[in-house]
Amino acid sequence: MTNETSDEAFAALTRRQIDSAYRLAWAILGDSGDADDATQEAFASAWRHRRSLRDPGRFDAWFGRILVNECRQRLKRRARERIRPLAELADPAVSDASGHISACDAVSRAIARLDADHRIVVILRYWADLSVDEIGARLDVPSGTVKSRLHYALRSMRPRLEDAR
């Protein structure tokens, strides 16, 4: 297979992923501007490292790892810079015509108070419906670590959700 053919096949794989990649980035980051940037940077990174993809059949998991890592870095950068604290991510301002996170929603607010690692596992598990093993592969951590993060995240969310009931 020539490089040109490989790149063509790779381009087709990336095109197929644009919507799902953008939606996941949006779900994790809660902001369309950041989702735009994260998605573009993930595709750029995927192109730069495309030779490391040995099996095109594993593109989804391979690209998913790149995308989630990009989102994670952005969440951590935000928290570090304290420009937009995680606690404000899902608060009132987030709203547009095609999708929104309600300000009065207890789950959204509880998730917004989680740090980057815990927020990501919650979104991947309960919104994207990935298995614990799939999440481990996306984050490059053992399944036990994923379970532990989920347990911690739910434990810290529980009081807020119970109060809202």
Distance between CA atoms of 36 and 25, rounded to whole angstroms? 8
Least distance from other proteins to the Cβ atom of residue 83, Å: 15
Interface with other proteins includes 61 (CB under 8 A)? no
Task: Write out the two tokens for 152.
Answer: 């911690």
Region near other proteins per CB under 8 A, out of 35-43, 53-61, 70-78, 132-140: 35-43
Closest to other proteins by CB, 99 vs 142, is: 99
β-partners of residue 100 are: 95
Distance between CA atoms of 25 and 61, rounded to whole angstroms? 15
Task: Write out the two tokens for 130.
Answer: 């990935």
Residue of 66, 122, 135, 139 interacting with other proteins (CB under 8 A): 122
Q: Say which DSSP state 124 is in.
A: I
Region near other proteins per CB under 8 A, out of 21-29, 51-59, 67-75, 76-84: 21-29
Phi, psi of 49 (to 5 degrees): -105, 20
Q: Say which DSSP state 141 is in.
A: S
Region near other proteins per CB under 8 A, out of 60-68, 78-86, 135-143, 151-159: 151-159
Task: Write out the two tokens for 34.
Answer: 């950041």
Residue of 86, 89, 101, 130 interacting with other proteins (CB under 8 A): 101
Interface with other proteins includes 108 (CB under 8 A)? yes
Region near other proteins per CB under 8 A, out of 56-64, 67-75, 105-113, 135-143: 105-113
Burial grade of 20 (CB within 10 A; 0-12, 13-18, 19 or more): middle
Least distance from other proteins to the Cβ atom of residue 145, Å: 18
